[in-house]
């Protein structure tokens, strides 16, 4: 803990060197993954600085350090809220971990034992202007809606006005059908926030595909036959499960997931005269809205996991624009 304290103090000293006339917002990046939420916010909040980040996965930490020149701290549950530097915005794509209390009974205490509690305890201590949360679409209905109600009530109990909406990446310039819930909470209860509307931008799967792709991404005969057999079995059962095949002209793909590395079944790319292929890691990055400057230095397996667990950056960017507008109107 002494080492952690010294590292945080050094970060604070480095931060103090920044010209306060140009710096407007400080933010922290919790459950940071490879920094997708951070990337979206930094595209909008130009005069800002990330003063603290936390991520437990060692491979994600490697990618994060490579791209942001800082190593996230590890397990947030082991870091005291007073040791986190002061900040204006919390960014957190927190895991949807099952809550120990099913009913809506004890508010803030109901979140103990969950990773959301770590967001709440830091927010309660530091009182940042904004809390930004992202999660899977199903989070809103988890445990018959009780989980979401507890999260919302917890934020309200510590003084925040809560807004939320489910948005789809395919409506924000990304050729991917990816629905996620976004929660924005303001400490200033007078703020009337609205989420962004869909943007008008014609995209297709071909926009994110590379022109020269290594043959190793073409799936084997055995795997392709297996995909086809399983899809036919599901069809006979009356459901639509099975592989999903796309081409250059497809409007969007299905949702890329952290399990994509296993067999690529949710997004296969058609190839004339060949078996279909998986996306390359670079294509997976593009599908999530990362530009080609994002460095991929981990194995393909880890890269697929990381991009599958990440966020659609352009959606984050559009929400960040709305958040900045709301904040600027009251400053």
Domain with CATH 3.90.120.10 in the chain: 205-309
Residue 7: per-residue pLDDT? 53
Two tokens, residue 28: 């922290």
Q: Which has the higher per-residue pLDDT, 321 or 238?
A: 321
**For the domain with range 2-198+311-330, which CATH number is right: 3.40.50.10490, 2.40.30.70, 3.40.50.150, 3.40.50.300?**
3.40.50.150
Q: Is the pLDDT of residue 120 over 80?
A: yes
- In the chain, the percentage of residues whose pLDDT exceeds 70 is 87
pLDDT in tens, 161-186: 999 999 999 999 999 999 999 999 99
Q: Do residues 295 and 67 make contact, with C-beta atoms less than 8 angstroms apart?
A: yes
Mean pLDDT for all residues in the chain: 88
Residue 96: per-residue pLDDT? 64
Residue 2: per-residue pLDDT? 45
Residue 98: per-residue pLDDT? 55
Lowest-confidence range among 26-40, 182-196, 226-240? 226-240
Average pLDDT of span 125-148:
89
Q: Which has the higher per-residue pLDDT, 50 or 18?
A: 50
Residue 143: per-residue pLDDT? 75
Lowest-confidence range among 83-87, 100-104, 111-115, 215-219? 100-104
Average pLDDT of span 261-281:
95
Residue 139: per-residue pLDDT? 83
Q: Which has the higher per-residue pLDDT, 42 or 7?
A: 42
Two tokens, residue 157: 């109990």
Q: Which has the higher per-residue pLDDT, 188 or 139?
A: 188
Average pLDDT of span 144-170:
92
User: CATH topology for 205-309?
Assistant: DNA Methylase; Chain A, domain 2 (3.90.120)
Average pLDDT of span 124-140:
93
Residue 102: per-residue pLDDT? 43
pLDDT in tens, 29-51: 999 999 999 999 999 998 899 99
pLDDT band at 17 (very low <50, low <70, confident <90, very high): very low
Average pLDDT of span 69-88:
94
Residue 106: per-residue pLDDT? 53
pLDDT band at 111 (very low <50, low <70, confident <90, very high): low
Q: Is the pLDDT of residue 327 over 80?
A: yes
Average pLDDT of span 86-108:
69
Q: Is the pLDDT of residue 108 over 90?
A: no
96 is catalytic: yes
Average pLDDT of span 283-300:
98
Average pLDDT of span 264-280:
96
Average pLDDT of span 261-283:
95
Domain with CATH 3.40.50.150 in the chain: 2-198+311-330
The residue from 96, 104, 136, 213 that is catalytic is 96
Q: Which of 50-54, 94-98, 242-246 has the highest mean pLDDT?
A: 50-54
């Amino acid at each position: 803990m002494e080492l952690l304290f010294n590292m945080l103090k050094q970060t604070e000293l480095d931060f103090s060197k920044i010209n306060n006339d140009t710096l407007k917002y400080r933010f922290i990046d919790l459950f940071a993954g490879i920094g997708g939420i951070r990337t979206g916010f930094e595209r909008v909040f130009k005069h800002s600085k990330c003063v603290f980040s936390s991520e437990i996965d060692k491979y994600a930490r490697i990618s994060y350090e490579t791209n942001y020149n800082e190593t996230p701290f590890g397990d947030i549950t082991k870091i005291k809220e007073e040791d986190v530097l002061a900040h204006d915005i919390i960014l957190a794509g927190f895991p949807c971990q099952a809550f120990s209390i099913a009913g809506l009974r004890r508010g803030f205490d109901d979140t103990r034992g969950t990773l959301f509690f770590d967001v709440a305890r830091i927010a309660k201590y530091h009182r940042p202007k904004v809390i930004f949360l992202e999660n899977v679409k199903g989070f809103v209905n988890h445990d018959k809606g009780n989980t979401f109600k507890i999260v919302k009530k917890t934020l309200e109990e510590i003084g925040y006005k809560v807004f939320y909406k489910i948005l789809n990446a395919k409506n924000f310039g990304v050729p991917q059908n990816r629905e996620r819930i976004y929660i924005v909470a303001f400490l200033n209860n007078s703020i009337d926030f609205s989420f962004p509307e869909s943007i008008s931008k014609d995209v297709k799967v071909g926009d994110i595909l590379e022109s020269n792709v290594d043959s190793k991404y073409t799936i084997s005969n055995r795997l392709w036959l297996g995909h086809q057999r399983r899809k036919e079995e599901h069809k006979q059962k009356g459901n639509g499960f099975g592989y999903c095949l796309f081409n250059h002209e497809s409007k969007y793909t299905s949702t890329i997931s952290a399990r994509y590395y296993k067999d690529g079944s949710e997004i296969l790319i058609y190839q004339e005269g060949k078996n279909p292929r998986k996306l390359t890691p670079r294509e997976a990055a593009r599908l999530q809205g990362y530009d080609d400057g994002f460095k991929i230095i981990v194995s393909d397996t880890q890269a697929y996991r990381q991009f599958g667990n990440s966020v659609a950056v352009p959606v984050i960017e559009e929400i960040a624009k709305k958040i900045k507008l709301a904040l600027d109107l009251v400053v």
